[in-house]
Structure 1
Amino acid sequence: MLENFSLISIFTIIACAISCAMLGNLVLWKKLSFYGDAMSHSTLFGVAIGVFLEANQIIVLIIFNLFFASLINLFSRQKSFAIDSVVMIFSYFFIACAVLFNENFNKNFEFEEFLFGDISQISKTHLILISVLCALIMAYIYFYLDKLLISIINSDIATVRNINQNQINFYFMILLSLMIAFAIKVTGIFLITALMIIPSACARIFSKKPLEMIVKSIIIGVGVSLFGLLIASNYKLSIAPTIIFIHCIIFFILLIIKNSRYAKI
């Protein structure tokens, strides 16, 4: 049962689910799912560096993710390659660096707790950081949602309306970088993007307005995360994979229901 977990762990998962759901909508709208995956996978190198320096992992990951975002922003201005190609190449590069660095300097440190998360390692610090980030994401959506949607639909119209697209994208990249750095202990490197994308994808199936989609994704994200936590506790399963598995099942069910409705028309 849920009493097997501390209140800090439960509230951290709730805050993480809310933050990921809100940010996931922006990732879907901007069609940047690949970017979230690439950044989270590249974070392995940040983990390896943190272990080597024996430094605070959260601080190291924040610095590394911000560096990664700045690097991608710089190279994305080059017109020779599409942005997704540049992002994935850097991702592969940093994954290779992580493995080689770990083999030579960290005496084969095990990445497992960072790959799939470890809820037992969640502290009050994680709860505070993710809660603050959750508030920042809410503020970002409140102040920039309309401008963001205009820039996504038509960047030329956004330019005519004097919308600072670079500023909006810069803030988005910072929030995404921080989200991945903070949530790795909860979901793990491999599953953080899934927790952002799947609740938003589920909400998208039956939503007609952006704000409606955000609210529904939060409800789905929190509800499924708590249900997954309960199932994992009762059957002694890995928590993060269980949560993602249930999310996927719900997505498939919703998709089938929607398609069956269209088939009847």
Structure 2
Amino acid sequence: MLDDFFVRALVAGVGLALVTGPLGCFIVWRRMAYFGDTMAHSALLGVALAFLFDINLILGVFLVAALVSVALLLLQRRGVLSTDALLGILSHSTLALGLVMVAFMTWVRIDLMGFLFGDILAVSRPDILVIYAGGTLILGLLIWMWRPLLAATVSTELAEAEGMRPEVSRVVLMLLMACVIAIAMKIVGILLITALLIIPAATARRFAGTPEQMAVMASFLGAAAVVGGLFGSLRFDTPSGPSIVVAALAFFLLSLLYGGRLKARLTASNGSST
């Protein structure tokens, strides 16, 4: 079954969507979209360093994204600038550094378009193994840390009062995001990772009544966007990664029209059943 490149793309994309859904919910709840964008932009610097030091691409991207997270935390504690200004500096400087390094490495042939926009149709069997193994680990850690992460998202003071150490939860969330970005880079590309994290979660928010429902719905909506985007790409001969994001956008636009009504009906039916 996995001998067909289109089937491999579907399996890989659905596996990634199952992970980005719940993680994207925390990005939406915590209003960390710009932070996710910053980490995604830093991925290109990770790619350049991976080629320079001849290390695994996923490892290189993860290390750079993790370092960017640590740098942001340290700069925030020093209070030198506002968070949005720091994110802007880190985002554009890491992207620019990556592009400059790639330009200097004339002995290496790098497909920038592939890294920027992804190539899910080129996913191999080892890539699928990495996606599902890494995704299982990320989901396992997310489930294990669900309560402290959710408490810190709702109220830092409340989490501290309950002895949950919200700062640790924040670091864990950042590292999980770094893992997802490293895994997703080859599939949807650096510039589209944040969209796959945010759009399904934002769509699920229009329908879900609880955080758990929103996490599950975000995963299913992301998977549906992958399937719809890939078949749309096959039908209309469009780029696969952007087509997936366009499909996710279509679901979001539909949620703006019907999400409120459906959520009200679900709430009313749950109330009447109790």
CA drift at 1:193: 0.7
Aligned partner of 1:172 in structure 2 is 173
Aligned partner of 1:47 in structure 2 is 47
Aligned partner of 1:217 in structure 2 is 218
Could you tell me the TM-score, scaled by structure 1's length?
0.90
Could you tell me the TM-score, scaled by structure 2's length?
0.87
Could you tell me how far apart the structure 2 residues matched to 1:165 and 1:31 are? 16
Cα pair 1:19 1:133 within 8 Å, conserved: no
CA drift at 1:43: 1.3
Q: After superposition, what is the alpha-carbon deviation per residue over 1:116-167, rounded to whole angstroms, capped at 9, x for unaligned?
A: 1012432233222221232223223322222222212221111111012122
CA drift at 1:104: 2.3
Could you tell me how far apart the structure 1 residues matched to 2:128 and 2:262 are? 41
Could you tell me how far apart the structure 1 residues matched to 2:144 and 2:49 are? 36
Aligned partner of 1:98 in structure 2 is 98
SS at match of 1:31: coil
Could you tell me how far apart the structure 1 residues matched to 2:126 and 2:26 are? 26
Aligned partner of 2:185 in structure 1 is 184
Could you tell me how far apart the structure 2 residues matched to 1:147 and 1:97 are? 36
Instruction: Report the residue type matching 1:201 in the other structure.
Output: A
CA drift at 1:3: 8.9
Q: What is the count of residue pairs matched by the alignment?
A: 261
Could you tell me how far apart the structure 1 residues matched to 2:193 and 2:239 are? 15
Aligned partner of 2:154 in structure 1 is 153
CA drift at 1:228: 1.2
Structure 1: 5+ residue stretches without partners: none
**1:20 partnered with 2:13:** no
Cα pair 2:206 2:255 within 8 Å, conserved: yes
Instruction: Report the residue type matching 2:226 in the other structure.
Output: S
SS at match of 1:129: helix
Structure 2: 5+ residue stretches without partners: 264-274
Q: After superposition, what is the alpha-carbon deviation per residue over 1:156-197, rounded to whole angstroms, capped at 9, x for unaligned?
A: 111111012122112111110010011100000010110011
Aligned partner of 1:59 in structure 2 is 59
Give the alignment of 1:209-248 within 5 angstroms. 209-248=210-249
Which deviates further from its counterpart, 45-54 or 203-212? Answer: 45-54
Which deviates further from its counterpart, 22-31 or 143-152? Answer: 143-152
Instruction: Report the residue type matching 1:166 in the other structure.
Output: E
Instruction: Report the residue type matching 2:186 in the other structure.
Output: K
Could you tell me how far apart the structure 2 residues matched to 1:79 and 1:109 are? 38
CA shift in 2, pair 1:231/1:96, >3 Å: same
